[in-house]
Structure 1
């Protein structure tokens, strides 16, 4: 009786929608449009449609928790950390208003998080213990040439005293030979000078540190294009002789964003930020990539004077919470880097802007141990990689990386529908063409799903969605078939400052979007998109899902087995270990899906083995998902993969690693 009633209800709804469409066609264009919309809403809500294309819905984000989501990070508690910082809003920056929100998708609850600094446009990565490293952010917003009122630029602060380092606070005055005053915009520490030799042969080499300065007075008086020495206000005698500034050019030209050196760990359990050691370089738009040993590589970004960090990379060790020098190599900002081996990183060529068109743009394999870079050829439209998407295709054992879409350098209107795939396990890796996207697309989000497919959504045809070019389309890529199939259309357009994450229940959440204009003519300024839209993939509409529980402790190590309880183990086709995402600017270097071998099936249980290779399974928390023979995944079970086996003498190995700096375990 219930089934008959449901059929009658659907029939009445269909007849009603048909009648409205017919009436609209006979009467008015406005009515016709309304009826077509009603029919569309009816159609996409049908079970058959959802089972084929999936379904979109909006999260009920209360107004007081809304923010300009620049960063979205899935935590091992199942919650999502959304970071805005100042949210690309100079008024909030000037007012010191920095925001983070914690969202629990399962309970649909929200919580404001105290945010200690402007983490807007920093970098982040998952750490072995489940905390998240966030490094860099915003020290200063850009100013266009006409808006710059005070001359400014880089001041090198020199110290010729070998016995003492000095720290100068923000606001320190540097005076030119002509008496023009400049004030430092940040505090700066200058190490002691270096002393070599003995007796009469002692040689002192001045140390130096850099700080951004601005003229005390507005106007052209502060402009200089000559190298001069600047006295530091308040110093006398030997200090005045040993400590001074050197500047080559101080002007009224455009000032780019400037980065900070600050770094923090966010603890998903306490739900608080904790400051750790600062980076050696300030970074805005940096990439943070977790390596096979659990350390994090930080590269690129705009520095404390608004220039791209010139290849000075560094490593964060979560066991000591300190930074050390990494091999030198130049990249444009937010380069897409994927850990693909012990001490080996693949650069897909994708990046999120800032940097010359002819430097650091070629894809290739970077060996950190030897600091060698091998270019990977074969990519069509190699000059249209900015704001493209890159993803490590599932399963990670295949060693394949895909590049999707992209745009020209800077504010170029160019975009491409090109996709390409490179097999990094091949003897001579080279890109091979993939299927084209439906149209030229930049800012495309790509999310790995448990059924070994990749969901792609949104983007725009133009720079930051100019000329109303947001693309309200989604598609699913199948690496095995090398084909796209269409998915349901999203309601919300997404372009710059957007990100997407796989949730533990198998849904996908999409955040942010920061269009330059709100209309096709470009006459009205755009507004930041604060709605959160959630996609339920087709596999969630294919009937009852398998269920998993972990047998005993959820702690494991590489090479060990995990026992998973499930009612029908014979129905399970595959099991995947999925690293939680950490996304910003349509980049996500943490997400990966690792195939687990099913070693035994017993009554009510599966036994699976974790791969031994740390390049496949870097230490940290993972979602374990079983997929049945229909392609339907279970909700995730969280498992923590430790760095070391209990019998390996982990303390000794860690000590050796700190001494040698090895990147090979």
Structure 2
């Protein structure tokens, strides 16, 4: 056999292995709600365990009306100037839906939770382009709702990304369509405007990936380029090497995750992983059939001479979501195998989630869903360890016929760590502090059927998820002592993170993880 023939055989075999789905794929899916009323374009999990779901307003009727005969009268609205339908809901994973009232268009907007737990939501399209909205979450039995503020952004923001800053009281809003700049909310001084940033120019640069680094600077990635920005003085500290391969941001729609920050290096190393996206040129030529990218890159943004380390996913993907799991792994879910973001611009849905083991740098294909989650879909970690999956609307309006109809169903994916066979070693948190200060030593008490393997305590933020990017997502692995017996339970000593550049003040989900099996999370407020 000639060398070229042998190479071809190996290539074909590798392709077969990449597309191979195990007979007994792990994980399971459950339908939570057949009709949530809206197709969620933006999803946020509150510290009450509920989910704020949000779509755009200029779509005409949704599938759920505002309560009590209430209607939105918006003279600037382009579709329904009098609109009696809700475009946002509060979803309880126990399967209740409550309509929320939103006044201006939130299409392709952005957001972040403040330290208090209040969601601050910014920008959008048309009359919502410069708007700022807030929602202070309440218990599931409450009636909290959106409030539209009188103040505006310095400039319109459509397809921007937000990041909470170290005080927990201010966020930076980065980029947007034809807006290669950033600004702050609230402003740092009266009359402050916006600041231009060159990396945000060009094409395939929307919804930039933005992460707070351990030294307080920001890592900002757009298209294939990235920089370290000192937002205090507006100086670009350095430019990183360009990631190999295809473009990664909207409309090419790769995704990204900040890998776990760990106590072993005093939380000083920040590594970012960027995966998938559309083929080079696909979004500019309108090629909805171009195969999506399978490539992933990891870069240590805090290294002295950082470089991209590349590897391939087992399933190519555009419009995927990358979600930090309580174990420290990353789940890659949703999206399509071909095309790019936009109405009808992609096909061949990616139905199998893929798990990425950060330490081993290995992928595992999980059980598939039967519901395509394409353009305008979301994925969020729930406190019980499941992944809440919602949305998908590949059409300009709510369209229930044809290929990939508007999706109103809400699902939950349970990773293998929630399998029933792990019940004997699944921790159940019994006692914990309700709030923490930085560097604080504290104790978490947990019940367990059988003690086996190591114990970790991991804290995870609650991000604003939209358009393949979980804004504000981060995971910290905390320093823990060896568990000790405490009556019928076990106790573990834990040390809080050292400062607000590691975990800005906010509500976080805390998981006890034993032998790779997480507890149900408790919400603890990290204070300054």
TM-score by length of 1: 0.63
Aligned to 1:81: 52
Match of 1:530 among 404, 408, 413: 408
Mark the structure with the bigger radius of gyration. Answer: 1
Distance across 2 between alignment mates of 1:601 and 1:321: 48
Aligned to 2:10: none
Q: Is 1:642 the counterpart of 2:527 in the alignment?
A: yes
- Which of 1 and 2 has higher RCO (CA within 8 Å, sep 6+)? 2
Distance across 1 between alignment mates of 2:253 and 2:461: 23
Aligned to 1:624: 510
Distance across 2 between alignment mates of 1:640 and 1:483: 33
Aligned to 2:15: none
Structure 1: gaps spanning 5 or more residues: 1-42, 141-258, 303-307, 351-360, 644-665
TM-score by length of 2: 0.79
Q: Is 1:479 the counterpart of 2:358 in the alignment?
A: yes
Q: In 1, are the aligned partners of 2:225 and 2:243 still within 8 Å (CA)?
A: no
Deviation of 1:484 after TM superposition, in Å, equals 0.5
Within 5 Å, give how 1:249-398 maps onto structure 2: 260-269=129-138, 271-276=144-149, 277-294=151-168, 295-302=170-177, 308-311=178-181, 313-317=182-186, 324-325=192-193, 327-330=195-198, 331=200, 332-349=205-222, 361-368=224-231, 369-377=233-241, 379-383=243-247, 385=249, 386-395=252-261, 397=267, 398=269
Within 5 Å, give how 1:191-590 maps onto structure 2: 260-269=129-138, 271-276=144-149, 277-294=151-168, 295-302=170-177, 308-311=178-181, 313-317=182-186, 324-325=192-193, 327-330=195-198, 331=200, 332-349=205-222, 361-368=224-231, 369-377=233-241, 379-383=243-247, 385=249, 386-395=252-261, 397=267, 398-407=269-278, 408=280, 409-410=283-284, 411-413=286-288, 414=290, 415-439=292-316, 441-460=317-336, 461-464=338-341, 466=345, 468-515=347-394, 524=402, 526-541=404-419, 542-544=421-423, 545-551=426-432, 553-568=433-448, 571=452, 573-590=455-472
Deviation of 1:342 after TM superposition, in Å, equals 4.2
1:539 aligned counterpart, secondary structure: helix
Distance across 1 between alignment mates of 2:243 and 2:506: 33
Distance across 2 between alignment mates of 1:345 and 1:482: 25
Aligned residues: 450
Within 5 Å, give how 1:596-615 maps onto structure 2: 596-599=478-481, 601-602=483-484, 603=486, 604-615=490-501
Instruction: Show structure 1 runs of 4+ deviating over 6 A.
Output: 320-323
Deviation of 1:310 after TM superposition, in Å, equals 4.1
Deviation of 1:434 after TM superposition, in Å, equals 2.4
Q: 1:316 to 1:467 in 2, by over 3 A?
A: closer
**Larger helix proportion, structure 1 or 2?**
1
Deviation of 1:395 after TM superposition, in Å, equals 3.7
Within 5 Å, give how 1:85-164 maps onto structure 2: 85-86=56-57, 88=59, 93-96=78-81, 97=83, 99-105=87-93, 107-139=94-126
Structure 2: gaps spanning 5 or more residues: 1-21, 63-76
Distance across 2 between alignment mates of 1:68 and 1:555: 35
Q: In 1, are the aligned partners of 2:240 and 2:306 still within 8 Å (CA)?
A: yes
Distance across 2 between alignment mates of 1:601 and 1:484: 31
Deviation of 1:375 after TM superposition, in Å, equals 2.1
CA RMSD of aligned residues (A): 2.8
Q: In 1, are the aligned partners of 2:277 and 2:340 still within 8 Å (CA)?
A: no
Q: In 2, are the aligned partners of 1:376 and 1:431 still within 8 Å (CA)?
A: no
1:133 aligned counterpart, secondary structure: strand
